[in-house]
Structure 1
Amino acid sequence: MGFPGVWMTETESMVYRVVPKCACSTIGQIMYYSDHGSFYDGDIHDAQDGIYKWAQEENQDRIARNVKAHESFAFTAVRNPYARILSSFFDKICGIQRNGNRYRNNLVPLLVQKYGVEVGDPENGFEFDQIKSFRRFLLFARDTIRFRRPMDPDIHWSAMSGHISTFILNGGTYDHIFWTEAFDDGMKTVLDRVKTPHEVDLTAIPRFNESAVHGPERAHPVEEYFDDLSMHLMWEIYHRDFRLFRYDFDNPANKLPVGDIDLDEVHKKLGS
């Protein structure tokens, strides 16, 4: 299996396991800047040079050698599961993608037909019942994750623990896992532990949210999207995320963690 989702700076100063919808665009741009002194011109996910990615077959041996020998500082970032699944819904389901099309082409028509999800469109200002449609999407997400139907789960709503575990299971060790809700503190810990050709001033780094302008804005507070049934579904599919990364399951309105992440526990529980 190797190390899917792993990015590494060309100087091998740091190794990052990408977790979708967890500030990966900003983290990737910081890694790129730390090597080159400038940001990648475009979406860092499209970069084919200037940063090593497992998806680039020619760089897999280099990444595997580094990770298995633990030669670089290795880290990842996580996000409150309530906010993350909402972000996936508004970006990937409701939003128009960079290529001008809907995400995965036939996915939205499938959701409309089988789950009654509405997504609106740019011409009517994306007007639709966001709460009702999101709850129906959440049922679909549960079906993909638990039963792999009507399709395999998508990386953007697969559990964070699943992404993070592949790194451990294949021989990697994390030095740091931080919350995106405390992004500057978490990223500072990474940068303080590595040597890079170019110094990164976190106070001057923009947030690279590549999907922000392509879909509807969230019209309600996070907690209004989650009734008792929705919370039950969230626990069913994300209970390891809530437990391991110390997020508050009982209160969707609280985006902040309620305890510290135990790296030893993460490696033990996700590495077996």
Structure 2
Amino acid sequence: MPFPGTWMTESRSVVYRVVPKCACSTIGQIMYYTDHGRYFDGDIHDAQDGIHKWAIEESKPLLERAVTEREIYAFTAVRNPYSRILSSFFDKIAGIQRNGKRYRGNLVPMLTKRYGVEVEGDFDQIKSFRRFLLFVRDTIRFHKPMDPDIHWSACSGHVSTMIRNGGRYNHIFPTEQFADGMKHVLGQIETAHEIDVDTMPRFNESADHGPRQAHPIEDYFDDLSNFIMLDIYRRDFNLFKYAKEPNRNPPAKEIDLDEVHAKLAK
């Protein structure tokens, strides 16, 4: 059974399902620190030892057993769809990646040619973002001109893979309440090294990749943009209890784990 995006500490204290653009760099570094007493030197996504990942062949049987036997505490984190899609745009489309190149090579030139997305110089952020959102809609609804990228495919899709293959989450928390959520997880497991979530650094590898957001979040979403958001991320809004209007707020209600498992198991 496949468990993409699943990580586990070497000590097997906790299992985590990575959801892109949902504090995954910081969460991964916390997991690494609790085992080794230090942070990974570099982007935790590049680590090939010191942590188990589904992408590492020898980790797969360990992860499959950990997830399906449900004896190890499992969690994940989600994010407000509005702030998540804006983060994807500024990082992956408007930004330059760690290797000094544009994300996915010819993606931005294609967006410029086919959707009129401009990201050079002092570009119109609102106009380009709304055109990017049309492209996101096309990838999610029609899988054209490409399949949806992991950074803007729905959180619920990422979360569901573990559930559909026999796993169960002990906790799902919103990144808007990161400290409380992570403290809850750490309070449920035994770790070799304690970590202070309040004072630790945040490992946002994408923070300086692109231009700064120049406008309030609500300015990026007109009626059409909001209609598209509610259409393509409807399950995220409903399952994770986010308000259906542009904001960066945490969920309006507590996430219901039983509901998440029941609806994502289908």
Bucket of the pairwise TM-score, normalised by the shorter protein: over 0.9
In 2, the alpha carbon distance for the partners of 1:129 and 1:35 equals: 45
Listed as ranges, the matches of 1:143-162 within 5 Å are 143-162=138-157
C-alpha distance after superposition, 1:14-69 (max 9, x if no partner): 00000000000000000000000000000000000010000111110010011100
1:255 deviates by 1.8
Report SS of the residue matched to 1:202: coil
- Answering whether residue 177 of structure 2 is matched by residue 182 of structure 1, we say yes
- Give 5+ residue unaligned stretches, structure 2: none
C-alpha distance after superposition, 1:120-167 (max 9, x if no partner): 1xxxxx410000000000000000011000001100000000000001
Report SS of the residue matched to 1:140: helix
What is the letter of the counterpart of residue 253 of structure 2?
G
1:254 deviates by 5.0
Listed as ranges, the matches of 1:121-270 within 5 Å are 126-249=121-244, 251-253=245-247, 255-270=249-264
TM-score, L = length of structure 1: 0.97
What is the letter of the counterpart of residue 200 of structure 1?
I
What is the letter of the counterpart of residue 266 of structure 1?
V
1:256 deviates by 2.3
Q: Do the aligned partners of 2:163 and 2:264 also contact (CA within 8 Å) in 1? A: yes
More moved, 21-30 vs 195-204: 195-204
1:2 deviates by 1.2
In 2, the alpha carbon distance for the partners of 1:242 and 1:9 equals: 30
- Answering whether residue 24 of structure 2 is matched by residue 24 of structure 1, we say yes
In 1, the alpha carbon distance for the partners of 2:182 and 2:204 equals: 17
C-alpha distance after superposition, 1:215-269 (max 9, x if no partner): 10000111110000000100110000001000001x2135221101000000000
What is the letter of the counterpart of residue 46 of structure 2?
D
What is the letter of the counterpart of residue 114 of structure 1?
R
What is the letter of the counterpart of residue 140 of structure 1?
F
Q: Do the aligned partners of 2:83 and 2:248 also contact (CA within 8 Å) in 1? A: no
Report SS of the residue matched to 2:198: helix
In 2, the alpha carbon distance for the partners of 1:254 and 1:217 equals: 16
| Alignment-derived partner of residue 34 in structure 2 | 34
In 2, the alpha carbon distance for the partners of 1:257 and 1:64 equals: 31
Runs of 4+ in 1 over 4 A off after TM superposition: none
In 1, the alpha carbon distance for the partners of 2:25 and 2:134 equals: 28
- Give 5+ residue unaligned stretches, structure 1: 121-125
What is the letter of the counterpart of residue 189 of structure 2?
V
In 2, the alpha carbon distance for the partners of 1:237 and 1:254 equals: 18
TM-score, L = length of structure 2: 0.99
In 2, the alpha carbon distance for the partners of 1:75 and 1:256 equals: 18
| Alignment-derived partner of residue 123 in structure 1 | none
Q: 1:129 to 1:270 in 2, by over 3 A?
A: same
Listed as ranges, the matches of 1:79-118 within 5 Å are 79-118=79-118
| Alignment-derived partner of residue 52 in structure 2 | 52
- Identity of aligned pairs, percent? 69
Listed as ranges, the matches of 1:70-85 within 5 Å are 70-85=70-85
Q: Do the aligned partners of 2:82 and 2:248 also contact (CA within 8 Å) in 1? A: no
What is the letter of the counterpart of residue 212 of structure 2?
E
